[in-house]
Structure 1
Amino acid sequence: MNRRLALAVDVAARHGIAQRLAVGSRTLYDRLTAALTAWVAAARRDDLTGWRAALGPVLRMVLLGGLAYGAYRAARAAPWLLWLAAGAWALAAWRTGALEETAVEEPEGTSEEDPAGAAVALLREVLGDRPAVHLSTVLAHLQEHGQGEGWKVADLRARLEALGIPVHPKVKIGGVPTRGVRAADLDAHFPIEETSPSPVQVDAA
């Protein structure tokens, strides 16, 4: 089942050019945002207190703001630069999307007929009786079973959203709000089909 989820959430990235660009763009954005946030935060001085300790991050934020304003002025003066920027971003997104497609090697004999169903099945398994689960928990579960190596939460989120599985930005578990999946959303979007009970079905459950 774990291998099926790793494959299932990766299958959506192979559904066309638009999907590849969307996944690649979202991944690039998340990585760029995370990198800039870490760069700004790294300037904080632990050996100082008060405003002096925060001076480094403030200066770096001012620098980023200046660069953004400079880019804006350049685009106003030469609009054709936007086409170059858009082309460069699209190329980077395409390459990133292609890498995401090959992130997990497809196991032999695994069916791709219902990737969303396989993903939902494992999410329910990780959820258990809980009302929600963080994506970090799902990713850790995958990696414990040798799947999703090198993935980040943003990579898993992109694949789940591409499969139509709702991901909330702030799911609070244990007082910590972060990205996660709610059982109620799975029930609403992927209802469990009611079937007549049988010994085989009970054993499988």
Structure 2
Amino acid sequence: MSGTKTTAMQRRARTLTAGQRILARHLTARAAAWVRAGRRTDLDGVAAILGCILRLILLAAGAYAVWWLIRRWPVILWAVVPLWCWAAIRALGTDDEQAPEEPPALPSRDAVILLLHEVLGDRPAVHLSEVLTHLQSKGQAKGWTVADLRARLEALGIPVELKVKVGRKGPTRGIVKAALPPLSQPEETEPSPVPSPTV
């Protein structure tokens, strides 16, 4: 029962995250379009973009005012957060990007473990970003993010470490070779019992 509840919560969180991403993209696109609209086509040089600069200043002032109000009266968040979440969920219906019900699919657990060994080679660890690049170079996992890959690996029972250092790159999420689970052993079929000879 607890596993079902956790899965449902994860689905809702993914839906809300996808909606917030879409909403933020829409708001950014509208703000950028509004700023671009301030450009004067009848002027040249700096004079032509003075309107754009002024609109950028207004946007920055508005953002600062919102931040100042929240710092001054944090109780505003009780109204702002539900409105933001409501707008994020509504944004799902205005975009082709929908929150997936399940993490993107990968091959079987054993196939993934073999793939990870292939990417690892002789190294003790590998970053998830490199695994994703390897998958996409083979025409798989198109449009995936590192978070998508992590979710599916963990669903298969393959541990993902939070901070893994590989070479000179900074520590980030990755796979440690020593922590990879062994491949599944094929189940041995028991021989059918031989009937005892009748006397």
For normalisation by structure 1, the TM-score amounts to: 0.48
- Which one has the bigger helix percentage? 1
Larger Rg: 2
Question: What TM-score comes out, normalization by structure 2 length?
Answer: 0.49
RCO higher in 1 or 2 (8 Å CA, sep ≥ 6)?
1
